[in-house]
């Protein structure tokens, strides 16, 4: 069994979050430590620990997440100006919450990949 994460608690409404999108499979909420003017976390309601785990459990989740992220981005007008979608896997990849999640960042120029503020 996987350890309970902050995202499990958000999903169960045990801790507050600012939900910006929700459907039957996916929920999205504002990141509490944003790295851009728009920084939203998207998770699938069916738990997995990282992208490799998600693919082995149910690859359809990738489609669920990307349809949700691109639809939400379009509703926000980000499809015109651009945005970034990022996921990390494992400690060396920068993953700090071991529940598969995607960061959607936008609302400003993000610079080249890996650019630091």
Instruction: Give the per-residue pLDDT at 2.
Output: 73
2-43 tens-digit pLDDT: 799 999 999 999 999 999 999 999 999 999 999 999 999 999
Average pLDDT score over residue span 59-82: 96
CATH class in words for 6-106:
alpha beta
pLDDT above 90 covers a percentage of the chain that reads: 91
Average pLDDT score over residue span 97-107: 96
44 is catalytic: no
Q: Is residue 47 very low, low, confident or very high in pLDDT (cuts 50, 70, 90)?
A: very high
* Average pLDDT along the chain: 93
CA–CA distance, 87 with 104 (Å, rounded to integer): 9
Instruction: Give the per-residue pLDDT at 111.
Output: 80
Name the active-site residue from 39, 44, 101, 103: 101
Q: Is residue 83 very low, low, confident or very high in pLDDT (cuts 50, 70, 90)?
A: very high
Whether 116 has a pLDDT exceeding 80, the answer reads: no
Instruction: Give the per-residue pLDDT at 31.
Output: 96
């Amino acid at each position: 069994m996987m350890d309970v994460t902050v995202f499990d608690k958000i999903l169960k409404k045990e801790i507050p979050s600012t939900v910006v999108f929700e459907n039957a499979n996916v929920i999205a909420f504002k990141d509490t430590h944003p790295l851009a003017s728009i920084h939203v976390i998207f998770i699938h309601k069916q738990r997995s620990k990282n992208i490799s785990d998600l693919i082995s459990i149910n690859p359809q989740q990738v489609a669920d997440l990307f349809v949700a992220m691109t639809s939400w981005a379009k509703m926000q007008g980000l499809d015109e100006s651009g945005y970034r979608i990022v996921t990390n896997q494992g400690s060396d990849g920068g993953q700090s919450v071991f529940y598969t999640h995607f960061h959607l960042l936008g609302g400003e120029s993000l610079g080249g990949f890996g650019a630091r503020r």
